[in-house]
Amino acid sequence: MDQTPDRSRASARHRRAYWTPARQCQFLAALMESGSVARAARTVGMSRSSAHRLRHRLAGTAFDRQWEEALVMHAGLTADPLVWTAARAAIDTGTR
């Protein structure tokens, strides 16, 4: 019987998730839709605290500004749901 540990299973357990550019974009889109940092972070497989650490680390960058814009957009969408169509189209095309 082989007594060597299964390295692939062990490494998968210890593999860390990272804030890739794609994950950041998905997080921002989820943040705009939900208005909740915790929910948006869970959507991309990350924690609320890691999202806040990332924002702190990237203070003053485009990510930081887009975080704030996402929350403003969410507030606007909540106030006027008809704005959602234009906002979604802008996100899908990458324009503002």
Give 36 or 84, the one with higher predicted confidence: 36
Total domain count for the chain? Answer: 1
In a domain, 58, yes or no: yes
Distances in whole angstroms, Cα of residue 9 to Cα of each of 3, 57, 80: 14, 32, 48
Distances in whole angstroms, Cα of residue 61 to Cα of each of 40, 47, 57, 90: 19, 21, 9, 21
- CA-atom Rg of the chain in angstroms: 18
Q: What pLDDT sits at residue 79?
A: 76
Q: What pLDDT sits at residue 76?
A: 82
pTM value? 0.69
From 5-9, 23-27, 47-51, the region with the lowest mean pLDDT: 5-9
In a domain, 7, yes or no: no
In a domain, 76, yes or no: yes
- What are the two backbone dihedrals, phi and then psi, of residue 51, each rounded to the nearest 5 degrees? -65, -45
In a domain, 63, yes or no: yes
pLDDT mean over 69-73: 92
Q: What pLDDT sits at residue 59?
A: 97
In a domain, 35, yes or no: yes
